[in-house]
Every structure is written in structure tokens, then in C-alpha cells.
Structure 1
Amino acid sequence: MTRLAFAAVSSSPILLSPTRRHLRFPNRPISALHVSAMPDPHPSLDITGGARDLFLPAFSSLHRPYSPFPLLAQNCHVETIFASFFRCSPPVTYKRECLRTPDDGAVALDWVAGDQFRLPPSSPVLILLPGLTGGSEDSYVRHMLVKARSKGWRVVVFNSRGCGDSPVTTPQFYSASFLGDMRQVVAHVASRYPNANLYAVGWSLGANILVNYMGQDYETCPLAGAVSLCNPFDLVIADEDFRKAFNVVYDKALTNALCKIFKKHALLFEDLGGEFNTPLAANAKSVREFDDALTRVSFGFKSVDEYYSYSSSSKAIKHVRTRLLCIQAANDPIAPARGIPRQDIEENPNCLLIVTPKGGHLGWIAGPEAPLGSPWTDPVVMDFLEYLERGSSQSPACRSDGEALQQSTVDLHQLKV
């Protein structure tokens, strides 16, 4: 969502870098994607989307009922909070790479130490985008990373400006609609591993940014596939619910995290004029208040509502041409089910939507590793991504044009910290 810190076939080919392997399956027969007989999905799962029939064979577990862990899943807030505080965090040793962006900002990429020697250059690469104020230390990020690595994937965590101790070098953080850093990171990773397919997984605000990127940059997006988890989609609706009842607890927690990041770098914002309200940003009582004091001004919006409306990925999903899996929980208190753009997902031949009856936000305490292990979503995500990777390795080369990708790579400079 715009704030959490507990965090098909395409009708026309996508333009890609000529140095990369085939990353799409335009106009290919379904049989080419390993379609095989499988049980129908369990009725406890709500599964829809234009790519439903195409991608259902990818999954090995959707014929089984979604069985949340007893007691914890009786209340969406209990599940959300339990997952945030008590889910185990797998040990991971990172090697950090900091990148300087064209506006002299900086983001941090956390790679798994040693993978540059352990994995071949052609291993698929997975970019992880955490939720608001989240980073590579979050348990849900680490569980996904460990699951992907166990399958032989190279994984990198994209820590946005100020998140995960990423350096802040200019008076600008990031936002739900700002795609400049995302483009830079994807271009950099693509240039570093030109013979590998790129994929991405985003949670909450990271999912919103990811879908916006795929929808707005659909002609140049080099991703072979992506997964969106607990995406708020419609930020206006999410904002309405965020300020109701128990949700104020999440609002307060996220606001505190935002204020902490801001205060750490307050000197950079000291001399800003115009509509900036730095005292309010430092002492905001809600995410909306923080966004009004700083975020919407930084990115040129006249009001918070204009910022939320423009930044909603529900408007971008109809344009997505990359294979996309969206997983939502029907009882998510922060990414409301009523904000899911169901019709656009159903009409997009590249999209699949899975809605679980329980899960909370960043919870999904179900499956064999519940309650302390990885969320129910992780094996489902890997089934999908491995299915795409197997299909891409057997497909013929498609039309490509890497000018946009190469141009954005030219402007990327590394920042050593």
C-alpha cells in the first residue's frame, strides 16, 4: 500500500535489449508453456484474471484449501501484528552496492554475499521491493530471498532512499509514483547480468511502485515476469480505510518510522522553501500528514488526494504487458479488497489474481511453515516465477530493441559508501 512498514499473451511484442534472452511469450500456443492436466483450484481461493487458464498449470498447491493457522488468523489485525513481530528472520549475509542516481540521490542494493561466485551469470535474477520504510532486514523479504536462492536464483533487495539504512544525499525521499529510481535499478541490474532473465516481487508500497513501473514503461520494461503482493492499488480508498478504527495503530507505527528517517536526514531539508513544512514532517501524527508536509510537495502535487489518486497502480494495470501475478488477502486491513481493479485484471491477458480468504497485511500465516516460518505466498510465487523461467528457456528469440534500456544505463553511476 502507499504505506506499510511492518513493513496472455500480449497482443504486441515488448521491446527488449538485443543482448538478453527471450523474455516474453507473445502469440505462443498455450502448449508451449507446459500446460498439463491439473486439479481445479480449491474454492477457498478466489482466482481470476485474463491469464487464468494460461498460468493455473504453474501451481502445485492451489488445489488444496487455504488453511490459516488456528487462532492467529481469526482476526486480521492479530495476524498482521504477529507476522510483523514474531515471524522468524532467516540469517542472510549481504553485500551492499550503492548507486548514485542522476539527481545525486542514492539507493542501496543488497546482494547475497558470495553469489557472484556461486551462481552462473545466466542465473535468473529476482529484484525484491519491500513495503513503505521496509528493507532487506524485514523477515518477509528474507524468507522470499531464501526461497528463491534455494532454487538457484540470484536475488537482490532494492532499498529505497532512506530505507534499510540506504544513504540519503538530497532533500528527496521516494514516493508511490516516483519511478526514476526503479528504472535506474532495473537498468543497472540488466546491464550487470545481460544474459539472465529479470523478475521482480513487490510488497505493499513496493508492489504499487512495481505495477506502476510495468504499466507506464510497458514498451521498454525488461522484466520477464513479476509478482505483486498486498498491493493497495487504489490509494484513495486505502487512505480512507487507513484512518478508521484499529488501522490508526498501523498509521501511527508507519508515521513514526517515516519521521525517524526524516529526522536522521533533517539537515538536508533545512533550507527548503515553498510549501514544504519540515517541522510538520518531523512531528507528523499520521502518514497523510507526513505526505502533505513533504511527499506531495517534493513531487509536485497540489494536494495529498491528488498525489494518492495519481499514484494508484489500479490505473496502470490495464497497460501491463509483462506476466504479472497479484496475490491479495480478502481481509487485508491496509490494502482493502474493494480497491482491487478486478475488471482490468480480468481483461488483461497477462495478469492473474489470487485472493485468499485470510492473510491480513504481509501475514499469510498458513502452509507447512506456519506460524513462525515463511508465509503461504512464497512457494506460490516461486511456482509462478519458475514456470515463466522454464518457458523462456524454450522460446525462440523475439523482436528486441534495447535503446531505451541502454540509454538509462549510460546515466547510471556507482556511489561508493
Structure 2
Amino acid sequence: MAETLDELGLFEEKMLTYTSSLAIFVGVSVAALTYYLIRVVKKPLLITGSSRCADFLQRRCPVLVQEYYPTVWCFTSRAHTIVCSVLAELTTWKLPPYRREILDMPDGGELHLDWLEHHSNSHHDNRTRPIIIILPGMSGHSGSHYIINLAKATSKKGYRSAVYNHRGSNGVKLKNNRYYCAADTTDLQHVVAHIRSLYPDAPLMAVGASLGGMIIFNYLAKFGKDCGLVAAMVMSMPWNTFKTTESLEEPLNRLLFNKYLTFGLTQHLRQNREVFDKDSRVDVDHALKSSTIAEYDERFTIKVFGFESVDHFYTLASACYKVSRVQIPLLSLNAADDVFAPLCSIPTEEIKKNPNIALVVTSHGGHIGFGDWLFPSRESFMDKLYQQYVDAVFKYGQEGHIEAHVQK
């Protein structure tokens, strides 16, 4: 009898412990969910200097008037950026059926375009089917998960895409000592002219992520209305290279991102060092010892491109100094917690003065993350906005501020 009472007492004690633990778990979960729903889930902020543009975008891009639910288990932008990137790469099983085109550049170099066609005649014929040039980020290429998502989405919408692989990227060695950087728009100019010569009657748009976005912005600022594009979109684009560098130099960001990206840059240089060993402007061994992007730029980038200094390079690369020069419709998507593009670096007041630019800022999302709810492998907020925006440009441009550009 005593043993039975002891066992009953032990059982009651275990149940009490279990109940207490469950109550704590439920309480913490409810508190976390409440915080998430109240403080994290928010509608994106839309900033533009044109009320007509704002009305058009909100009507044709429904995600802009809906709450965005960032990935719930990413409590910081760093986690959002890393986890979404890693898991998305793991869930990328195969490449789309790209058709590769090799462009021989005037300087002797080589550039690869990976085309993803759409052969349906439901909306456009081959002659007039809209085309989107997709520019990856610093270490990206046509096999990167976010680029694959953009290319597939383009095809699904009935359009044609051409992924612009930066020189020497995607496992392809450089043919000469010509490289790429955010301030150099020569290659993009060549690609736009090439595609327009192939399809002169097809509307052409450019989309870029991170460094790819910087190249597009600088291209638009340089050529204005003569850029050959009807519209453009940039995602997670750093607006101020100086402030981006400062952010990446912070201890945790330096450990998580700066060193990783610098390692990729130096590995790329190591794989192509034979074309630079003969270049008297560059000390390859010194550049390979770089531990940060700023060091790499000082030892390699400014030497190859002939910039006077790193400050000179960063000034030319920064979009924040050229906002007024953009003369075609441009949509920029940024996250307020992106360590590569700190919120304080975005020139919102200047953007309000240019009716051609629309800025969308989400409260969370990290850098090229924008994971949606639980699973980063599903369609992200960035993917949704991209699909809706390209449709807005090519199908409904006559309703908005892009009418003249599309008709042209």
C-alpha cells in the first residue's frame, strides 16, 4: 500500500512538473506570437515622389497593401539572411533549361548570358516577347537559388529572361584581365545593345540583386532616357557604399559576412591569377591576403579599374549620390534590417523628389532574404513583388507612369 502511495505521489509530481513546463512553453509561445504579430508583421512602406506611381503600384502589386509575414524563426536579419540562403540552396535541385550564349567583348574578354525561353504564343510572339536581363549579386550567378527563382518566375509569366553572369563567374575563367565592379557599367551597356539588336521590337527590362542592382542603378544614372530599358527593379541594393562598408566592419558582421565574401573574392582571384600576374598594376600576392572587402578593393579593385582611391571608387559606386539622374521607372526593394544596406543609408528624401523611383521597405527580410512565414523554400515576398511588378510593367504600363517608356 505504501509503495502504491509513493508511486502515486511520484506520478503526481511528474504531472505537476509536466504541467508547469507546458504552461511555461505555452506562455512563452503566446508571448512570442503576440510580439511577432504586433511588432514584426507589417505592411511594406512605399516611398515615391509620384502619387500616380504609388496608386498604380498599389493597384497592380497587391503584396504592397498586404501584411508581410517574415520567416518566424529568424529573430535577426543576420539569421534571416543566412538561413534563407543556406536552406534555399539546399532545396535547389536542378538548373532550368538555360540556353547559353557567349558574348565576345570588344576588349577580348568573354561574357556569358544564360537564356530561359518561353515559347508559348498565348500573349506574345517571339519577336515582341518582353525580355528581362537578370543581374546576380557579388558572388551570384545563373545557378544561385534566387536567380533561378527569378528566371523561372519570368518564364511562368510568359516572358523571356537572360541571366547576365559577371565575367569569370559560375566557374568560368577570365579570358583577360578585365573584371567587374559596381561602378563599371560597360558590360551592361554592351549586353543591352546586343539584346536590342536581336529583338528590336521586344520591351526590355533589367532586374538586379545587391551588387547587380548597383550596376543597374549606375547604368540608369549614366544613360538616363537613352538606357534602352522600359523599367528596372533592384533588390537589396546597397545605396551608400561607405555606410555598407562601415556596417560590414562591425565585429559580428565582419565574422559572418565580410570574411566569407572576401574569401570568395580572393578564391576567384586565385583561380584567375595567371591573367593578373602579368599586370604591373596589381600585387596579386598582397591582394590574396585581404581579410575584408575594403582591403580587397584597396589592393585589387581600384588598381584594375584605375580609380584614384577607395573613396573615389565608393563615391562612384554609390547610388545615393545619383538619385536625381534616374529617368525611367525604377522599383527598389529593401529591408529595414539589411546589414548590407542599413536603413540610415537609404536617401528617402531624395527619392521623394524623383517621380521615376519607387522605394519599398519591409520591416524585416535581411539581405536577399525576404523569407515568407515558415519555409524559405516557398515563394518569398521578393519573388511575389517581382512577378507582380513585371506584369504591371508589361501588361498595364499604360495605366501608370511607365506608359511612355513601354510604348517607346
TM-score of the pair, normalised by structure 1: 0.80
For 1:342-393, what per-residue CA distance to the aligned partner results, in whole angstroms no more than 9, with x for missing partners?
Answer: 12211111111110000011110116x8322232111112212211212357
Secondary structure at the counterpart of residue 200 of structure 1: strand
Aligned counterparts of 1:116 and 1:171: Cα–Cα separation in 2: 38
Aligned counterparts of 1:384 and 1:302: Cα–Cα separation in 2: 39
Q: 1:190: which partner in 2?
A: 196
Q: 1:58: which partner in 2?
A: 60
Tell me how far 1:219 sits from its aligned partner.
3.3
Q: Structure 1 residues 345-354 or 53-62, which shifts more?
A: 53-62
Secondary structure at the counterpart of residue 218 of structure 1: helix
Aligned counterparts of 1:295 and 1:381: Cα–Cα separation in 2: 31
Q: 2:92: which partner in 1?
A: 89
Distance change (3 Å), C-alpha of 1:190 and 1:393: farther
Distance change (3 Å), C-alpha of 1:132 and 1:314: same
Residue ranges of structure 2 left out of the alignment (5+ in a row): 1-40
Tell me how far 1:329 sits from its aligned partner.
0.2
Q: 1:46: which partner in 2?
A: 45
**Matching residue within 246, 261, 266 for 1:254:** 261
**Matching residue within 268, 287, 292 for 1:286:** 292
Aligned counterparts of 1:289 and 1:398: Cα–Cα separation in 2: 43
Tell me how far 1:78 sits from its aligned partner.
0.9
Tell me how far 1:46 sits from its aligned partner.
1.5
Secondary structure at the counterpart of residue 232 of structure 2: strand
Q: 1:5: which partner in 2?
A: none
Check if 1:98 corresponds to 2:102.
yes
Tell me how far 1:179 sits from its aligned partner.
0.7
Aligned counterparts of 1:263 and 1:121: Cα–Cα separation in 2: 42
**Matching residue within 266, 282, 285 for 2:273:** 266
Q: Which has the higher helix share?
A: 2
Distance change (3 Å), C-alpha of 1:184 and 1:166: farther
Higher relative contact order (CA 8 A, sep 6+): 1
1:143-154 aligned within 5 A: 143-154=149-160
Tell me how far 1:247 sits from its aligned partner.
1.0
Aligned counterparts of 2:407 and 2:370: Cα–Cα separation in 1: 39
Task: Please tell me the residue identity of whatever aligns with 2:107.
Answer: D
Aligned counterparts of 2:240 and 2:303: Cα–Cα separation in 1: 20
Aligned structure 1 segments of 4 or more residues deviating by more than 6 angstroms: 116-119, 396-400
Distance change (3 Å), C-alpha of 1:50 and 1:396: closer
Q: 1:20: which partner in 2?
A: none
Aligned counterparts of 2:299 and 2:321: Cα–Cα separation in 1: 25
Larger Rg: 2
Contact 1:140/1:374 (8 A) holds in 2: no
Task: Please tell me the residue identity of whatever aligns with 1:46.
Answer: L
Aligned counterparts of 2:197 and 2:178: Cα–Cα separation in 1: 26
Task: Please tell me the residue identity of whatever aligns with 1:296.
Answer: I
Q: 2:379: which partner in 1?
A: 374
Q: 1:76: which partner in 2?
A: 77
Contact 1:128/1:155 (8 A) holds in 2: yes
Contact 1:140/1:375 (8 A) holds in 2: no
Tell me how far 1:331 sits from its aligned partner.
0.2
Distance change (3 Å), C-alpha of 1:259 and 1:143: same
Distance change (3 Å), C-alpha of 1:197 and 1:69: same
RMSD: 2.1
Task: Please tell me the residue identity of whatever aligns with 2:390.
Answer: L
For 1:317-360, what per-residue CA distance to the aligned partner results, in whole angstroms no more than 9, with x for missing partners?
Answer: 21111111111000001111111121221111111111000001
Q: Structure 1 residues 205-214 or 218-227, which shifts more?
A: 218-227
Aligned counterparts of 2:209 and 2:407: Cα–Cα separation in 1: 31
Tell me how far 1:43 sits from its aligned partner.
5.6
For 1:261-292, what per-residue CA distance to the aligned partner results, in whole angstroms no more than 9, with x for missing partners?
Answer: 11111011112224x22112223211111111
**Matching residue within 250, 261, 267 for 1:244:** 250
Contact 2:42/2:363 (8 A) holds in 1: no
Tell me how far 1:397 sits from its aligned partner.
9.2
Task: Please tell me the residue identity of whatever aligns with 1:390.
Answer: K
Q: 2:225: which partner in 1?
A: 219
Secondary structure at the counterpart of residue 226 of structure 2: coil
Contact 1:95/1:110 (8 A) holds in 2: yes
TM-score of the pair, normalised by structure 2: 0.82
Task: Please tell me the residue identity of whatever aligns with 1:58.
Answer: R
Tell me how far 1:93 sits from its aligned partner.
2.0
Aligned counterparts of 1:45 and 1:224: Cα–Cα separation in 2: 25
Q: 2:27: which partner in 1?
A: none
Distance change (3 Å), C-alpha of 1:188 and 1:239: same
For 1:160-186, what per-residue CA distance to the aligned partner results, in whole angstroms no more than 9, with x for missing partners?
Answer: 111123441111211110110010011
Q: Structure 1 residues 80-89 or 196-205, which shifts more?
A: 80-89
Contact 1:111/1:155 (8 A) holds in 2: yes
Aligned counterparts of 1:396 and 1:319: Cα–Cα separation in 2: 18
Kindly tell me the number of residue pairs found equivalent between the two proteins: 355
Check if 1:142 corresponds to 2:148.
yes
Contact 1:89/1:143 (8 A) holds in 2: no
1:200-219 aligned within 5 A: 200-219=206-225
For 1:67-125, what per-residue CA distance to the aligned partner results, in whole angstroms no more than 9, with x for missing partners?
Answer: 112112x111111111111113263122211111111111110112x646886221110
Check if 1:386 corresponds to 2:398.
no
Distance change (3 Å), C-alpha of 1:253 and 1:312: same
Q: Structure 1 residues 57-66 or 148-157, which shifts more?
A: 57-66
Task: Please tell me the residue identity of whatever aligns with 2:150.
Answer: M
For 1:136-172, what per-residue CA distance to the aligned partner results, in whole angstroms no more than 9, with x for missing partners?
Answer: 0110111111111111010110001111234411112
Secondary structure at the counterpart of residue 326 of structure 1: strand
Aligned counterparts of 2:290 and 2:266: Cα–Cα separation in 1: 7
Q: 2:132: which partner in 1?
A: 126
